[in-house]
Amino acid sequence: MSGLESQLPVLLVAVPLAGAALVAAVGHWVPRILADLTAIGVAAATAVGAVWLVVGLGSGRVVCWLGGWDPQPAGKDGSARESVGIALVADRWSAALAVVAAVVVLAGLLFTWRYFEETSATYHGLMLAFLAAMSGFVLAGDLFDAFVWFELMGAAGYALAGMRVEEPRSVHAALEFGVVNTLGCSFSLVGITLLYARTGELNLALVGERLHDRPPDALVGLTFALLLVAALVKAAVVPFHFWTADAEAAAPTPVCAVLSGAMVATGVYAVARWWWTLYDGVLSAALAEHLLLGLGTATALLGAVLCVCQRHVKRLLAYSTISHVGVALLGVGLLGPAGLTAALAYLLGHACTKGPLFLGTGVLLNQYGTVDEHALFGRARGHWLTLSVFVLGGLGLAGLPGLGLWWGKASLEHTLTTEHLAWLVAVVTVSGALTSSAVLRAAARIFFGLGADPRERAEETATEEHEEQGEVTRGVAALMLAPAWLLLALGIGLAVVPDLHRAGETAGEVFTDHHGYAAAVLRGASGAVHAEHHALWTGSSLALAAVALALSLVLAAAWLWGPPALGRTRVVGALRASVDALHGLHRADLTEQVGWLVLGSAVLAVVLGR
């Protein structure tokens, strides 16, 4: 790596930070158009830098010691080089997540260009700070540094989510989002403190190496449980997921796209990074695998079931995000290179599918002032532009070959079958089909007015909703949907470019190479990595995709034209009662969410802290 390339990881964090400070400083004095341009320019530059880093990395790692504190040269006996500085370690997968974060924030900023009338420069400053926090987190090679970027992600996220203070629901959701995430970060800080007490180090590689000096005991298990709490709260995994539906239903649309596209991905990434650098070979892999697979399954199914019975499109998409994060956690839970590649590819694809769906919903809200499926029944006929985003997004969620999620879903199903966990393949397929059917049902109702017209049944008055901004012409809608298509095109690129898949598998080997990571950071060595590649477009994966799509279409049809008689049968009645109970549970207020967080962390501590 040439001089500048070796400094790229720092630039990916420092440039957005400087941009945020600049926008915050001159925000008052310059016209808003300049703040827009600066923010979009900085986000675009970060995206380009991240892509350059991914391309330039090959199958190695870039270790960048900050503050000029390069560790002393490797000792004669090859002993670990130690330094007092902070290391940023970039391998291909962490750089790829930085690309996704930059692209999703860029799409949000481009969307905002025509979306908000009165935004101060603060919005742009917070979005850039959010971007810097995410790229800082995925590149951090230091435990406490990761904690600081987690908190910055939180601070910018709470302010952005609660930005529209005239909406009671958005400030309430932002407050719950804030309290739960800050508490999760406090739990992880206790974990970091205990790790520092045991090993005396903060660098991920050094801590991982010191943990091998003694047999693992309750302390090591407890630290992993506490670190997991912050990661799983950010990733919205059961039972820490209550804040997601409210925060993403009430936040402004571009913020929703960033939260569910990029931020949840950093939570799942955190679980993988901390396992492979700290606890691989220390804690029992079987225990961690069972725990993560259990959490992933519960999250995937719960998210999918609740997603289907939502009528508010953004809340529907929020529960679909929870479901897809659960599926990605299954990949990480396999604790293998192939599983990891599948999980991170799934997250990349999910960002390129869920982001456009949120932006499409934003256009609907912009034009009709509401995103309630029943209130919008048949009102958006003829809007082909927005319809295309919804259809592509909906089919993409089911894993249509060639769209964003195809790469992640196909390789995950392949890995699950080779690991003899065929029943998990069913979980993946069912949750994908459920979420996709919900989106297709919403699209069918809104754009075609199919199915029974709900407005006869419910006698609500057509309360004219407070619109986010004024009427929007077709041309403006096209401009606002351009970033959505950008993301969809990126998703298609992910699915069809074959050498991306091979590079991904090699990068998965590099990511999960515990000793290679320690060697690169501590001794500057870079070993060769061998990865076996498997074809993606195989008969079985295409068959599974066909099953998922068929199931999704059948379910969508069932929601739209399901005979009322079907509703009264005992089976559906019992099902509906259990779903209503689940729904009631999800009206947890702030104190209940904290209660669930404490109970969840206790379960993790008991399971891992044996």
Partner 1 sequence: MTDWILGLLVLLTAATATVVVLTRDPARQAAVLSAYGLMLALTMVALAAPDVALSQIGVGTAAVPLIVILAVARCERAVRASQADRAGRVGRPGDSAGDDQERERS
Partner 2 sequence: MRRRLPLVLGAVGAVALAVVGVRAFLGLPGAGEVPHPYAARAVAAAYAHTTPNAVVSVTLDQRGFDTLGEEFVLLAAAIGTVLLLRRLAEEAHEDRPHDYGPEDVFEAVRLVGALLLPAALLVGGYVVLHGHLSPGGGFQGGTVLASGLYLAYLAADYRTLERLGPPGVLDTAEGVGALGYAAVGFAGLIGGSAYLANDLPHGVWNSLLSAGTVPVLNVAIGLEVGAAFVLVVAKFLEQALLVPREDGDDGGDRDATAGEGEH
Partner 3 sequence: MADVLPWLLYAGAGWIFLAGLYGLVTSRHLVHTVVCLSVTQSATYLLLLAVGWTRGGTAPIFADIGRHRRVVDPVVQAMTLTDVVVGAAMTALLLALSVQVAKRRGCVDPRLLRSLEQESEEERGRPAPGRSG
Local structure of 492: helix, strand or coil: helix
Does the footprint of partner 2 cover residue 20 (CB under 8 A)? yes
- What does the block give as tokens for 80? 């670990």
The region of 166-174, 209-217, 335-343, 521-529 touching partner 1 under the rule CB under 8 A is: 166-174
Residue 20 contacts residue 121 (beta carbons within 8 Å): no
Nearest-approach distance from CB 608 to partner 3, in angstroms: 18
- Choose between 103 and 163: whose C-beta lies nearer to partner 2: 163
- What does the block give as tokens for 569? 């049968």
3-state secondary structure 563-576: CHHHHHCHHHHHHH
Of 182, 412, 147, nearest to 270 (Cα)?
Answer: 147
How far is 522 from 209, CA to CA, in rounded Å? Answer: 10
Q: Say how many residues touch partner 2, by CB under 8 A.
A: 83
- Window 168-197: residues binding partner 1 (CB under 8 A): 168
How far is 261 from 519, CA to CA, in rounded Å? Answer: 33
Does the footprint of partner 2 cover residue 68 (CB under 8 A)? yes
- Choose between 85 and 562: whose C-beta lies nearer to partner 2: 85
Return the bridge partners of 140, or none: 88
- Choose between 6 and 186: whose C-beta lies nearer to partner 3: 186
AA identity, residue 4: L
Residue 74 contacts residue 520 (beta carbons within 8 Å): no
DSSP3 helix / strand / coil % (the chain, rounded to 5): 75, 0, 25
Does the footprint of partner 2 cover residue 302 (CB under 8 A)? no
The region of 87-95, 117-125, 367-375, 382-390 touching partner 3 under the rule CB under 8 A is: 367-375
Return the bridge partners of 87, or none: 65
- Choose between 170 and 512: whose C-beta lies nearer to partner 1: 170
For 84, phi then psi, to 5°, come to -95, -5
Does the footprint of partner 1 cover residue 167 (CB under 8 A)? yes
Q: Which of 172, 198, 379, 534 binds partner 2 (CB under 8 A)?
A: 198
- Choose between 540 and 578: whose C-beta lies nearer to partner 2: 578
369 binds, options partner 1, partner 2, partner 3, none, Cβ within 5 to 8 A by partner type: partner 3
The region of 39-47, 165-173, 374-382, 437-445 touching partner 1 under the rule CB under 8 A is: 165-173
How far is 569 from 330, CA to CA, in rounded Å? Answer: 34
Does the footprint of partner 2 cover residue 600 (CB under 8 A)? yes
* H or E element in which residue 20 lies: helix 8-26
Does the footprint of partner 3 cover residue 336 (CB under 8 A)? no
Q: Which of 166, 456, 464, 532 binds partner 1 (CB under 8 A)?
A: 166
Nearest-approach distance from CB 136 to partner 2, in angstroms: 6
Does the footprint of partner 3 cover residue 148 (CB under 8 A)? yes
Residue 347 contacts residue 317 (beta carbons within 8 Å): no
- What does the block give as tokens for 551? 């199931």
Q: Which of 91, 145, 248, 468 binds partner 2 (CB under 8 A)?
A: 145
Spell out where 78-235 has E strands: 87-90
Residue 276 contacts residue 208 (beta carbons within 8 Å): no
For 83, phi then psi, to 5°, come to -145, 160
Residue 129 contacts residue 149 (beta carbons within 8 Å): no
- Window 477-496: residues binding partner 3 (CB under 8 A): none
Does the footprint of partner 2 cover residue 194 (CB under 8 A)? yes
- Choose between 273 and 314: whose C-beta lies nearer to partner 3: 314
For 497, phi then psi, to 5°, come to -80, 110
How far is 281 from 487, CA to CA, in rounded Å? Answer: 38
Quick note: the x/- pattern for partner 2 over 540-579, rule CB under 8 A, is ----------------------------------------
Residue 138 contacts residue 101 (beta carbons within 8 Å): yes
- What does the block give as tokens for 232? 């799983």
- Choose between 79 and 418: whose C-beta lies nearer to partner 2: 79
- Window 562-601: residues binding partner 3 (CB under 8 A): 587-591, 594-595, 598
Does the footprint of partner 1 cover residue 464 (CB under 8 A)? no
- Window 76-105: residues binding partner 2 (CB under 8 A): 82-86
AA identity, residue 586: H
The region of 21-29, 87-95, 102-110, 163-171 touching partner 1 under the rule CB under 8 A is: 163-171
Q: Which of 204, 222, 313, 397 binds partner 2 (CB under 8 A)?
A: 222
- Choose between 72 and 463: whose C-beta lies nearer to partner 1: 463
Of 63, 79, 6, 72, nearest to 510 (Cα)?
Answer: 63
Length in residues, the chain: 610
- What does the block give as tokens for 327? 């599926």
Nearest-approach distance from CB 166 to partner 1, in angstroms: 7
The region of 199-207, 310-318, 406-414, 474-482 touching partner 2 under the rule CB under 8 A is: 199-207
Residue 393 contacts residue 357 (beta carbons within 8 Å): yes
How far is 502 from 499, CA to CA, in rounded Å? Answer: 5
Nearest-approach distance from CB 371 to partner 1, in angstroms: 18
Q: What is the CA angle 18-271-207, rounded to 5?
A: 80
Nearest-approach distance from CB 591 to partner 2, in angstroms: 4
- Choose between 28 and 457: whose C-beta lies nearer to partner 2: 28
Does the footprint of partner 3 cover residue 362 (CB under 8 A)? yes
Binding site for partner 1 (CB under 8 A): 166-168
Binding site for partner 3 (CB under 8 A): 144, 148, 151, 154-155, 158-159, 162, 164-172, 174-175, 178-179, 182-183, 186, 189-190, 193-194, 196-197, 202, 249-253, 310-315, 362, 365, 369-372, 374-375, 458-460, 463, 465-466, 468, 587-591, 594-595, 598
